[in-house]
Chain A
Amino acid sequence: MASEEAKEYVLPPEVLEETMKASEELWKPVRKIKFRIYKYNPRKDYAPYWEEHELEVSRGMTVLDALLIIKGEADHSLGLRYSCRMGLCGSCAMMINGKQMLACQTRVLEAAGSGDVVELRPLDNFPVERDLAADFTSFFEKHRAVKPWIIRNDDVELNNPTGPYKQTVDEYARYYQFTDCIKCGACLSACPTAATDYEYLGPQALAQAYRYIVDTRDDGLDVRIPVVDTEHGCWRCHFAASCSDVCPRGVDPAQGIQLLKKLLIKRKFGFKPHKPAEALPAKVKAEKKE
């Protein structure tokens, strides 16, 4: 019985063959691409230099795949950051032919376009750690500066929770999009304001500040105002929108920053940002179930 059920899930031989063929097609080397890779160790080298490697690439090969092959076969000293290989950890953002992209999500042929050179540099506006790896210390400091967690004033409820907090779909939709940020740094790197202002909080931190401020469960507006409502905070942004253009997760930080400005202006005129969420008491929950 069990084997008969299992049989239903086996692909018909012609489909299987087609799938195998498609997969072979995807991984068959199709073109020779030249990789120009930025090499620099600030502790040792006097100045950066470029290294070139040629590689036969297939249609399915990502830039990260290619880099790992180069690291394994040609240059063991190549420094780069990566972890999950599927666009979820945000470690492998780099300049690929001059634009901020995730190496694991960008196919080599897509990056090369009609040319046959792929130029790889560490992220702009980030200190270089080594080769393609950027130093994220100040980036994470900026993220931490906006207090990216839910701040509550009702200590009694927090310590003895009576139930979950109420939130409507509309209230959830206000911040959901910004929760997708993977802290890859592409947005800060693309921002023209960050190119000359080292202290600028940056699109990532400001979008996260907005994400927590509009969350109805959060009471931290007044704590975050001194951080975001400053010269190097949201008023430094002039809507070049490059941050949203390069964001690999569709977070749209530029939108978050403009909405944050709107919220701050509204607050100056005395409007409250939102009604705080109430706790949904356990008793009500039980009644609802009945």
Chain B
Amino acid sequence: MEAESEFKEYYAKNMRGISGWFKARVYTIERWLYAAHRITGILIVLFVLVHFYSTGWHPGLWWDALLGIIVTFHTANGIRLILAELGFAVGKPLLIKKPSQRPVSIEGVQRYVVVFALVLFVVLAAIWAYYALVVQPMMG
């Protein structure tokens, strides 16, 4: 009986739940970045918990490079989000709209900021990977 009413409530409420974070296919790229930001954020928290326990511990070689990808993505996209959420790079409200107006906050300067964040991510991740895969093993 209990289970049945819960089941009914689930459908009546029609909330997407966590799957809603990752429903990005039909939307713009910002939605993918949102989903990736969530995942990387959660993974970083998990790593930090281990890191607190033993600061010297590292997952090692390829895992280190993966950790780099996670951290640098969160950093680069985080910079973009800080800019946007402080009200920069989202454009100005319009006085005159076209009949099928696309949102200025997405199609305006934000396009360049997204590209900038992605390039920054690739550069930082490459440096980190170089350090983790080449420099670190050499130093032993």
B27 touches A190 (CB 8 A): yes
A236-265 near B? 1/0 per residue, CB < 8 Å: 011111101111001010111011011101
Instruction: Tell me if A125 is interfacial: C-beta within 8 Å of chain B.
Output: yes
- With A172-B95, A173-B93 given, is the CB distance from A241 to B25 under 8 Å? no
The residue in chain A whose Cβ has the minimal distance to the Cβ of B95 is A173
Q: Tell me the bound Cα distance from A244 to B107 in angstroms.
A: 10
A252 touches B93 (CB 8 A): yes
B20 touches A128 (CB 8 A): no
A128 touches B101 (CB 8 A): no
Instruction: Tell me if A219 is interfacial: C-beta within 8 Å of chain B.
Output: no
- From A24-32, A192-200, A220-228, give the one contacting chain B: A192-200
B16-59 near A? 1/0 per residue, CB < 8 Å: 11111101011110110111010000000000000000000000
B95 touches A46 (CB 8 A): no
Q: Tell me the bound Cα distance from A262 to B87 in angstroms.
A: 5
Q: Tell me the bound Cα distance from A286 to B110 in angstroms.
A: 47
A241 touches B85 (CB 8 A): no
Instruction: Tell me if A178 is interfacial: C-beta within 8 Å of chain B.
Output: yes
B27 touches A242 (CB 8 A): yes
Nearest Cβ on chain A to B16's Cβ, whole angstroms:
4
Q: Tell me the bound Cα distance from A255 to B7 in angstroms.
A: 37
Q: Tell me the bound Cα distance from A223 to B23 in angstroms.
A: 36
For this complex, 5 residue pairs linking A to B, each with C-beta atoms less than 8 Å apart, are: A176-B94, A192-B31, A239-B84, A250-B97, A263-B87
A202-235 near B? 1/0 per residue, CB < 8 Å: 0000000000000000000000000000000000
- With A46-B8, A98-B25, A196-B20 given, is the CB distance from A250 to B103 under 8 Å? yes
CB < 8 Å: which of B4, B33, B84, B93 contacts A176? B93
Residues of chain A at the chain B interface (Cβ within 8 Å): 40, 42, 46-48, 97-99, 122-128, 134, 169, 172-178, 180, 190, 192, 194-196, 198, 237-242, 244-247, 250, 252, 254-256, 258-259, 261-263, 265
Q: Tell me the bound Cα distance from A97 to B26 in angstroms.
A: 9
Nearest Cβ on chain B to A127's Cβ, whole angstroms:
5
The 7 closest A-B pairs by CB, nearest first: A195-B20, A262-B87, A250-B101, A244-B103, A255-B105, A240-B34, A42-B12
A42 touches B28 (CB 8 A): no
* Count of chain A to chain B residue pairs whose CB atoms are closer than 8 Å in the complex: 149
B21 touches A196 (CB 8 A): yes
Q: Tell me the bound Cα distance from A123 to B16 in angstroms.
A: 10
B34 touches A239 (CB 8 A): yes
Q: Tell me the bound Cα distance from A262 to B95 in angstroms.
A: 20
For window 73-114 of B, CB contacts with A under 8 Å fall at 81, 84-87, 90-95, 97-98, 100-106, 110
- With A195-B15, A258-B90, A259-B87 given, is the CB distance from A241 to B21 under 8 Å? no
Contacts of A127 in B (CB 8 A): 12-14
Q: Tell me the bound Cα distance from A33 to B41 in angstroms.
A: 43
Contacts of B102 in A (CB 8 A): 250
Contacts of A46 in B (CB 8 A): 4, 7-8
